Structure 1
Amino acid sequence: MESESVTTPFGRRPMSLAMLLKQRRGEAIAAGTTRNKWKLFRSVCEARAGLDVTDRALTVLDALLSFYPQDELSSEGGLVVFPSNMQLSLRARGMAAATLRRHLAVLVEAGLISRKDSPNGKRYIRRNREGGIGEAYGFSLAPLLARAAEIETIAARIAADRQMLRRMKERLTICRRDIAKLISAAIEEAVPGDWERIASTFQALLQRIPRAAKLEYLGPILDELETIRLGIINTLELQGKIQIASTNESQIEHHIQNSNPESPSESEPGLETGQNRRCEPRPGLERREPGMAGEDGEGWRAIVRTHAGKLKSFPLGMVLQACPDIIDYGPGGTIASWRDLMMAAAVVRSMLGVSPSAYEEAASVMGPESAATVMACILQRGGHINSAGGYLRDLAQRAERSEFTLGAMLMALLRAKERFSDGPSHGPEIGTDLVQAASR
């Protein structure tokens, strides 16, 4: 740049080093640089926060650009506009002269325009003999064109941040709605959990959301809300699985209770059921007390369950004493009834990889409560059983052949527990002892 292009302010406005540097930087335009003035003005509006200019100052810049005759700002042509204060005020929506001067100063300070004052401070042009512009005095748009790439970069970044902020607000709104409705559903369905504490934590997080939302403030809050939502969903899904398992158990029990106890396919293989044939005591049958003749009138009652015993033939307390590990899988981490034990057994079955068919087969042979008790025993000694599903099927087959005793299995676990408390035990041998004891 030639030193002649530097101009000092007219009148009593002082010159400063900063003004000199801004003039130098504003005139340093790469050759061939062009921009559509209205697209560039839109980028300036997008980047307003990064350029530190006001909306009223942008109104003045809009008016100045309207005085430039071409749509394309080019370094090849003159970039000086020279409107009078009256014309500039009209195109600036009737802005007062004092306000106009103030916002012109803002544009100069922001480095978007520069002043090129004439000797007498007036704005005018002097044309050459060909009719072209020989000399022009007024406001130079060269700084705007020189910073075009910088302005467009700032505008793109601000637009991206605004888009990200909008998406984050949408996620925040959805997350707030999900948590509120999931908590309400959990309370209405009486799902076990400390829902009062979760709701209190949720409300405390909502209070931290600022009125003027910014990315750096919303990000951590959204992460915490999504963690709460995920925890609630996991709790509700677990409760749903428990309810489904409980429904399946109820269906199995209902099927067993409604089955024909005299049917050869569901009672004892080879059991003859002719009208005039007297039933004989076989494995799987139980002698009734005098005066309690069964439906067959012969004093014998067919039992679907084998030597594993009647339903609830062993106290629940004894089962939990022998198999305390099952308690953690009950509803709310407790087991207070046989129904709770069957629900816990359904969860343990899925966890140990026992197929539904294997469990249903065991329940049909032993009965729901006895099958749940067997699952508790398998869980208690799970570390010494390679395949829980195969082990359960083997026990069901033994029960059909009257070779399985549930009481012996519980007593073996109780004795093993006593040996553990007395001193070092031989853990790997317990699984073998359990099978042998139950098969006696």
Structure 2
Amino acid sequence: MQLASSGGRRLRHAALVAGQHALDSGRIVTRKELSAAYRLAQEALGLRPTLRLVLSELVANWGEQPWERLLVWPSNEHLILRTGLSERALRVAFRALTDLGLIVPKDSPNGKRYAVRDAAGTTVDAFGFDLTPLYAQRESWAGRVAELKAERQRIKRAFDEITIARRATEEAIDALRETYPQMWRPEMEQEYDALLARTPRRGTAMPPVGLLDAWSTLRCTVERSFFHAGNGGTTCRHNKDNNDSSSETCYSGFRKDEGGEAVPDGGRSASAGSSGSQDEPPEHEVQEHEVQEHEVQEHEVRETMTAAGRTEPGGRVRPSPGAAAQAEPVGGLAADLVPAAIREACPATMAYGRPARTPSEVVALGAFLRPMLGANETVWTEAVASIGPLRAAVAVIYVTQLYEDDLNRGGDSRIRNPGGYLRAFVRMVASGKIDLAADLLAMRRRRMGT
């Protein structure tokens, strides 16, 4: 049987190569199998609509004969009727399909397409188009389709990651500008706009090399700025090293005197200040942030006190009823009574497994709870310097209990930033706007129901 053109048509190398494909002997190819091969081929090669239409009609004319070649012989009139194409368009499509190695023309002596029958009328041969190359390369088509699907998945994942990084960067810039305007820089938004202009729309091609890395870098930069702004310029909430035994307190800025009272360790503080520890941020780095947030945090303290009915006309916080008769200023409150008052007024702080039986243990408990409020160590240093270590510890414990009660209450939280709340609370105690002893005893009475 003829494998390539026999005349009347220019010989093409692709036709000779395609003619080398053969079928398995003794096997009849069904139209369904040939159609499956056609679908794989059109997806693997990305055939344009005209070629798909013509090839589909050729496949539909396969009669499932037990031949060595898959020959079809539809007339041009039949194909024009089925496809709606002109005869010239059909010829262009035949040449393109031949060049792609999908079909091989088998021309008759007169250039017509027809079947050859024997004396009994059985079709034994035909002149037309050989579809054997289409079916014989089905495994190659399937492999190419798998590669294309994998490539599309890689492109989709790349654009998905870029979209995630872009949206996260946009949200981080907005949050930084609204929450910490002093940390926002116009260069961040300019770089965002430049990357946005470089980012193409989703398509069939991979995004530019390095675009995802650029988005990820900008996202990390903005989120790191937001993180440092929330931590007062430090790298973590609890920035004081503790490499001693787990039974030792995290707070080492005080020592016990002969009476067991916690007092400032002047020598240790001086040596630490002279050595310039890298774990503690310089004071000037946090002062700007503190000044900007102080008025907001003091407003939160006043809102909390107002909700409890604890303010007087003019904005001064009013001591609890009878507090003046029951408690003197904090410095006058007997030190041996403070631990018992703490245990009864602030039961939530006892759940951390830290004892509060002596004033020194109360100081250690306050130092332990300070980082849990998200307060920088400069808050504790300021509190000790302004109101003393014992009162500073009582303030931390008191604010911790207030925060726990606020969370347990449900609904909108009045204390949105407990670390900043603590700083404002300490400053109001130091200025005399809040009587710490009266507040502690009032909380104790509310807790005990007396």
TM-score bracket relative to the smaller structure? 0.5 to 0.7
Q: Counterparts in 2 of 1:275-354, with a 5 A limit? A: 306=263, 322=274, 324-325=276-277, 329=281, 334-336=285-287
SS at match of 2:143: helix
SS in 2 for 1:152: helix
How many angstroms does 1:188 deviate by?
A: 0.7
Alignment of 1:259-278 (within 5 A): none
- 1:85 alignment partner AA: N
Amino acid at match of 1:68: W
Q: Which residue of 1 aligns with 2:344?
A: none
1:24 and 2:7 are equivalent in the alignment: no
Using CA pairs below 8 Å that are at least 6 residues apart, which structure has the higher relative contact order? 2
Evaluate the alpha carbon distance shift between residue 19 and residue 307 of structure 1 in structure 2; reply closer, same or farther with a 3 A threshold.
closer
Q: Indicate yes or no: 2:82 matched with 1:91.
A: yes
The CA distance in 2 between the partners of 1:150 and 1:360, in whole Å, is 78
**SS state of the match for residue 334, structure 1?**
helix
Cα deviation for residue 204 of structure 1 reads: 1.8
| One-letter amino acid matched to 1:322 | S
2:363 to 361, 364, 369: 361
Look at both structures and tell me which one has the larger radius of gyration over its CA atoms.
1
Hey, what's the Cα distance between the residues in 2 that align with 1:360 and 1:46? 75
Distance (Å, rounded) in 1 between the aligned partners of 2:274 and 2:289: 15
Task: Pick closer, same or farther for the CA change 1:321–1:101 going to 2, 3 Å.
Answer: same
Is the CA contact 1:63–1:88 (under 8 Å) kept in the aligned structure 2? yes
Q: Which residue of 2 aligns with 1:5?
A: 2
In the alignment, which residue of structure 2 is the partner of 1:45?
42
The offset of 1:98, in angstroms, is 1.0
CA contact (8 A) 1:327 1:334 kept: no
Q: Is the 8 A contact 1:112 1:144 kept in 2?
A: yes
Matched, 1:147 2:137: yes
Q: What are the residue-to-residue correspondences of 1:31-430 with 2, within 5 Å?
A: 31=25, 32=27, 34=29, 36-49=33-46, 53-70=47-64, 76=67, 78-92=69-83, 94-190=84-180, 193=183, 195-211=185-201, 213-214=203-204, 216-218=206-208, 220-242=210-232, 306=263, 322=274, 324-325=276-277, 329=281, 334-336=285-287, 361-362=363-364, 364=366, 372=381
Q: Which amino acid aligns with 1:87?
A: H
Match in the other structure for 1:15? 11
Residue identity opposite 1:46 in structure 2: E
Gaps of 5+ in 2: 239-255, 292-351, 356-360, 371-376, 385-392, 394-450
Tell me if the contact between 1:308 and 1:370 (Cα under 8 Å) persists in the aligned partners. no
Q: What's the offset of the Cα at 1:130?
A: 4.6
Q: What letter corresponds to residue 180 of structure 1 in structure 2?
A: E
How much is the aligned-residue C-alpha RMSD, in angstroms?
4.7
Residue of structure 2 equivalent to 1:424: none
Q: How far, CA to CA, are the matches of 1:116 and 1:95 in structure 2?
A: 22
Q: 2:275 and 2:234 mapped to 1: Cα distance?
A: 24
Please give the TM-score of this superposition, normalised by the length of structure 2: 0.53
| Alpha-carbon spacing, 1:149–1:75, altered in 2? closer, same or farther (3 Å) | farther
Deviation, 1:161, is 1.4
CA offsets, 1:343-392, max 9 Å, x none? xxxxxxxxxxxx99799835859x986953899xxxxxxxxxxxxxxxxx
How high is the sequence identity, in percent, across the aligned residues? 24
When residues 193 and 327 of structure 1 are mapped into structure 2, their CA distance, relative to the original with a 3 A threshold, is: farther
